[in-house]
Amino acid sequence: MSTNRLDLANLERAELETALDERGHKRFHARQIFQWVYRRGVTDVGAMTDLSRDLRAALADEFTVTTPTVVARERSTDGTEKFLLQLADGRQIESVFIPDTPSMTFCLSTQVGCAMACAFCLTGKMGLVRNLTAGEIAGQVRVLAGALGLRDRKFNIVLMGMGEPLHNYDETMRALRILSDEHGFAMSPRRMTLSTVGVLPALDRMAHERIMPNLAISLHAPTDTLRGELVPLNRKYGVAEIIDACKRFPQTKRSRITFEYVLLAGVNDAPDDARKLAKLLSGVKSKVNLIPLNAAPGIPFEPPSDAVIDRFAQILAERGLVVSVRKSRGRDIRAACGQLMVEGQKRPPGQVLAAAINENLR
291 binds ligand SAH (CB under 6 A): yes
The whole-angstrom separation of Cα 63 and Cα 213 is 30
Which residues, at least 6 apart from 231, have a Cβ–Cβ distance to it below 8 Å?
Answer: 116, 118, 119, 197, 218, 220, 221
Beta strand segments in 59-166, E: 63-64, 69-75, 81-86, 92-98, 104-107, 111-113, 128-131, 155-159
Tell me which of 193, 195, 214, 286 binds ligand SAH, using CB under 6 A.
Answer: 195
| CA distances (Å), origin 86, targets 71, 120, 179, 188, 219 | 6, 26, 20, 27, 31
172 binds ligand SAH (CB under 6 A): no
> Binding residues for ligand SAH, how many (CB under 6 A)?
18
**Measuring CA to CA, which residue among 240, 247, 193, 189 is closest to residue 219?**
240
218 binds ligand SAH (CB under 6 A): yes
The whole-angstrom separation of Cα 22 and Cα 89 is 28
Choice between 288 and 315, CB closer to ligand SAH: 288
Choice between 187 and 293, CB closer to ligand SAH: 293
Contact status, residue 8 vs residue 63, Cβ threshold 8 Å: yes
160 binds ligand SAH (CB under 6 A): yes
The whole-angstrom separation of Cα 156 and Cα 106 is 6
Is residue 241 within a helix (H) or strand (E), and if so which, with residue range? helix 239-247
- Identify which range of 68-76, 115-123, 204-212, 311-319 contacts ligand SAH by CB under 6 A: 115-123
Which residues, at least 6 apart from 96, have a Cβ–Cβ distance to it below 8 Å?
Answer: 80, 81, 82, 83, 106, 107, 161, 330, 335, 340
- Give the distance from CA 339 to its chain's centroid: 14
Site string (250-289) toward ligand SAH, x via CB under 6 A = ----------x-x---------------------------
Choice between 191 and 329, CB closer to ligand SAH: 329
321 binds ligand SAH (CB under 6 A): no
CB of 15 to ligand SAH, least distance (A): 27
Site string (328-347) toward ligand SAH, x via CB under 6 A = ---------xx---------
CB of 166 to ligand SAH, least distance (A): 8
Please tell me which residue in 94, 164, 171, 260 is annotated as part of the active site.
94
Catalytic (active site) residue 94: yes
Catalytic (active site) residue 62: no
234 binds ligand SAH (CB under 6 A): no
10 binds ligand SAH (CB under 6 A): no
Which residues, at least 6 apart from 217, have a Cβ–Cβ distance to it below 8 Å?
Answer: 195, 196, 197, 198, 242, 246, 257, 258, 259, 260
Choice between 158 and 274, CB closer to ligand SAH: 158
3-class DSSP state of 19: helix
3-class DSSP state of 319: coil
Tell me which of 294, 323, 329, 342 binds ligand SAH, using CB under 6 A.
Answer: 294
CB of 340 to ligand SAH, least distance (A): 8
156 binds ligand SAH (CB under 6 A): no
121 binds ligand SAH (CB under 6 A): yes
* Residues catalogued as catalytic: 94, 337
Residues that bind ligand SAH (CB under 6 A): 116, 118, 120-121, 160, 164, 195-197, 218, 260, 262, 291, 293-294, 299, 337-338
